[in-house]
Amino acid sequence: MAMHHQKSIVLSGAFSALFVMTILSTGLGRIFPNLISRKQTNNAATALYAFFGLRLLYIAWRSDSKASQKKEMEEVEEKLESGQGKTAARRFFSRFCTPIFLEFDALVAALLFFEGGEEAQLKKN
């Protein structure tokens, strides 16, 4: 991702995901082993891995032509030209909370969640 997008946005997305997931996994790691069985955890992890894998395959299959890239660039340029009157707060958030930042944040959070679930199940045994 850092090759296609600003390195600072990718890095800040990774750090924010790590921070949030550290807090969440610590809290949930204390609660979930007592509430959810190992079989349910394995089923949920399987479903989520399958979902994200199929989603990535769908994205790769769908984005294969240069015409779609050119069309997307034209749409972005139109949006940039029409959005000249943004407030300072909106400009700040639009710079740091880009779709790539949010997607990277979500992917890292999902991976850390899976790891936290596995650790919680190992600690339970």
Work out the average pLDDT over 108-117: 72
Read off the amino acid at residue 30. Answer: R
pLDDT in the model for residue 65: 66
60-100 pLDDT tens trace: 788 766 767 777 778 777 777 776 556 676 767 777 677 77
pLDDT exceeds cutoff 70 at 4? no
Q: How far apart are CA 22 and CA 29, in angstroms?
A: 10
**Which residue stretches of the chain are H helix?**
7-35, 38-62, 66-82, 88-96, 99-124
